[in-house]
Structure 1
Amino acid sequence: MDLTVLAREAFGGGRRLAGVERLRGGSKKGVHRLLFEDGGTAVAYVWSAAENHWPGADEPADDADPLAHASGLGLFEAAHRRLTALGVRTPRVHLLDGSRTGHPADIAVVEDVTGSGGENLEALLERDPRAAEPVLARLADTLRVLGEDRAPGWGKLALLDNGGVSRGSSPAQLVLERALADLAEAAGRDDRIAAARGRLADGLHARAAAVAPRDGGYGLVHGELGPDHVLVDAAGEPVLIDIEGLMHFDVEWEHVFLRIRFGDQYPNLGGTEGLDRHRLDLYGLAIRLSLVAGPLCLLDGDFPHRAAMRAIAEYNLTAALALVE
């Protein structure tokens, strides 16, 4: 895809594009660094079926399902607008274009945080955990801001902001249904999950039965907030990326994922005080099964980083089985 016209639309004729680098990551969209002759950079997000490695990428998006794959310019724009209003840092936007008149995809051109003196939080934690401590403290503040932005219903922002209603009787019921589907997917691809399918299904149903109705609304959650989805800018501020899945939901869903991805660093993000333990139990098993089924499904296609996907599936398969021993 020729991004020369796109660069001109974003920055005018005064900046000439010198090259393009494909950045690693992005299973649902292409992520490209734009390199300019003046030494500056930007990042282009490209949403198209050719850049989406998930099965069913050509099918229409189901925004009424909060747990459906979150991909697209509309979801990105709604999420970016809300995060900006809340004062939550995310890459600044240079251009949004869903017209498809000059290029065959939806496009966003945004600030290149890592190309401007920043880095990935995952890399910072590996390189210098002590230097990451103030970033984690700021990220904990961000999580509090998101959790306190509440709505009476649950679902993706683009849907709710337009007056839509998500399907399902509750987030917990939706999670149960999705987890059972993930279990079926995983069981069809791995004999160990297939052998434990009854035990895993019983574990899901028992955990779901213990969840009581929730009063007080639903906070904002990113949905996949691991350290690889947080950049650190030159000022040491956390910058959220891959924001298309931003939605109002049970905040326990976010915290289970945080606990898995941040490991020993998770207590620095606020811990589980005040959270519902029954939801944590249900979502803990459900997310493990999702992190088995999802990578195994990706491996059915042409996703390029195959060893990493296999490792994710294997790690979470072992963890899921341990939860129902």
Structure 2
Amino acid sequence: MTTRHRATTLGAHGGHGGTMERGFVEREHVAGVVRAALGQGRHAREVLRLRGGSKKGVYRLVLDDASTVVLYVWHPDENYWPAADEDPADLFAEASGADLFGAAHAQLTALGVRTPSVHLLDRSRAHYPADVAVVEDVRGATLQALLERDPAAAGPTMAKLATALDRMRGSAGTRIGRPAAPGPRDGDCARIVLDRAVRHLAEAAERVAGIAAARDRVAGRLTELAAAVRPRRAYGLVHGELGPDHVLVADDGDPVLIDIEGLMWFDVEWEHVFLRLRFGADYRWLETPDLDPDRLRLYDLAMNLSLVAGPLRLLDGDFPDREFMLDIAGHATRRVLAAL
């Protein structure tokens, strides 16, 4: 049903590891999906695969009247992450799939936080041999592009994004976990982050000489930071990877959140560590009072360890934008060592 594309597999150190073929969506494959989403008589004139996704396929469909929608496809051929044995109860296990998307979309919509509107969410496999969604095509730039081009013009959107984050933070939960899945038995966010960071440290030390040399010191620092965190049993709703590239700007300036499958109730400090990292100086728009400085310190180091281990693990497969991932891992390595 899909056209086969050969992809070269490179090892994490840049060596060629082999080849594989992936099937991507072509125009003739989406006829049934378009009819189910938009009605009989509608069809796609063109299918354009958009860059950036590592877990699902994202395509712009140009329709018969020149309007556009976006197609999400959750299929193994669209997932570049190497297979891994994961505990289903692990909050940070691969956040992908139509169920997670649907639940996250419903939760955000109920809060008045904008995401692309959904024309179709189909798990039946009746129109395509994978779960799919057809959603609104928000044709404005990403917030990242707007901030780079005209920071002053991005001000109103940043202010609206801050309001959206306040709404998410105010959606207090008494358990941690995703809207579509139960939370883990251990309700201690700091312990979950610490355990994950220890695993990432071991993984990073196998791949990066500088971290291997400092492994004991990094482990000691993690333990020290975790010991300072006091218990908490109230959580906010967090996106999980809310960089400016995961926010589209609508024609009215509204921020539109995408890649929402990782939405969960968790410590909001986890979100703000990522926001601070990704927005840089523009984080000033999103700062919020009453964040726990002890959690911020622990989560900052843990986040950087994840940004070493994760991108290098992704490069065990055939992910195409290799230099970008190596750059992320390199920057994160420097931040880990600077924290000692």
Give your verdict on TM over 0.5.
yes
1:228 alignment partner in structure 2: 245
Q: Greater share of helix residues, 1 or 2?
A: 1
Mark the CA change 1:272 to 1:236 in structure 2 (over 3 Å): closer, same or farther: closer
Is residue 177 from structure 1 mapped to residue 195 from structure 2 by the alignment? yes
Distance, in Å, in 2 between the alignment partners of 1:144 and 1:295 is 30
| Corresponding residue number in structure 2 for 1:237 | 254
- 2:274 aligned with 1:247, yes or no? no
Match of 2:174, as an amino acid?
P
Amino acid at match of 1:319: R
What is the CA-CA distance between 1:62 and the residue it aligns to?
A: 4.8
Aligned to 2:7: none
SS across alignment from 2:119: strand
Name the counterpart of 1:29: 56
Identity %: 58
In structure 2, relative to structure 1, the CA distance for the partners of 1:165 and 1:126 (3 Å cut) is closer
Tell me how far 1:167 sits from its aligned partner: 3.4
For 2:45, the equivalent position in structure 1 comes to 18
1:45 maps onto 2:72 in alignment:
yes
Indicate yes or no: 2:141 matched with 1:110.
Answer: no
The answer to which of 46-55 and 5-14 deviates more is: 5-14
* Contact 2:176-2:187 within 8 A present in 1 as well: no
From 202, 205, 224, give the equivalent of 2:223: 205
Deviation at 1:210, TM superposition (A): 0.6
Equivalent residues of 1:33, 1:44 under 8 A apart: yes
Residues 63 and 88 of structure 1: is their aligned pair in 2 closer, same or farther, counting only changes over 3 Å? farther
CA distance in 2, matches of 1:205, 1:315: 23
Letter of the structure 2 residue corresponding to residue 185 of structure 1: E
1:54 aligns with 2:70: no
User: What is the one-letter code of the residue matched to 2:105?
Assistant: H
Match of 1:139 among 161, 165, 168: 161
Q: How do 1:63-78 residues align onto structure 2 when only pairs under 5 Å count? A: 63-78=88-103
Counterparts of 1:59-98 in structure 2 under 5 Å?
62-98=87-123
Given that 2:236 and 2:267 are in contact with CA atoms closer than 8 Å, whether structure 1 keeps it comes out as yes
Corresponding position: 1:306 with 2:328: no
Q: CA RMSD in A?
A: 1.3
Q: How far is 1:278 from its partner?
A: 0.5
Q: Structure 1: give runs of 5+ residues left out of the alignment.
A: none
Q: What is the CA–CA distance in structure 2 between the aligned matches of 1:234 and 1:172, rounded to whole Å? A: 39
TM-score, with length taken from structure 1 = 0.94
Cα distance in structure 1, aligned partners of 2:93 and 2:302: 14
User: 1:230–1:240: 8 Å Cα contact kept in structure 2?
Assistant: yes
Q: Distance in 2 between matches of 1:138 and 1:300?
A: 39
Q: Equivalent residue of 1:129, what SS? A: coil
Q: Give 2:335's aligned residue.
A: 319
1:33 counterpart letter in structure 2: R
Q: Which amino acid aligns with 1:15?
A: R
CA contact (8 A) 1:79 1:157 kept: yes
Residue by residue over 1:267-314, the C-alpha shift from the partner in whole angstroms, topping out at 9 and shown as x without a partner, is 111x25201011000000000011111100011100011111111111
Question: By how many angstroms is 1:4 displaced?
Answer: 2.1
Cα pair 1:65 1:155 within 8 Å, conserved: no
Q: C-alpha distance in 2, partners of 1:96/1:200?
A: 44
Instruction: Report the more deviating stretch, 3-12 or 243-252.
Output: 3-12
**1:288-299 equivalence runs, <5 A:** 288-299=304-315
TM (normalized to structure 2)? 0.90
1:194 and 2:212 matched:
yes
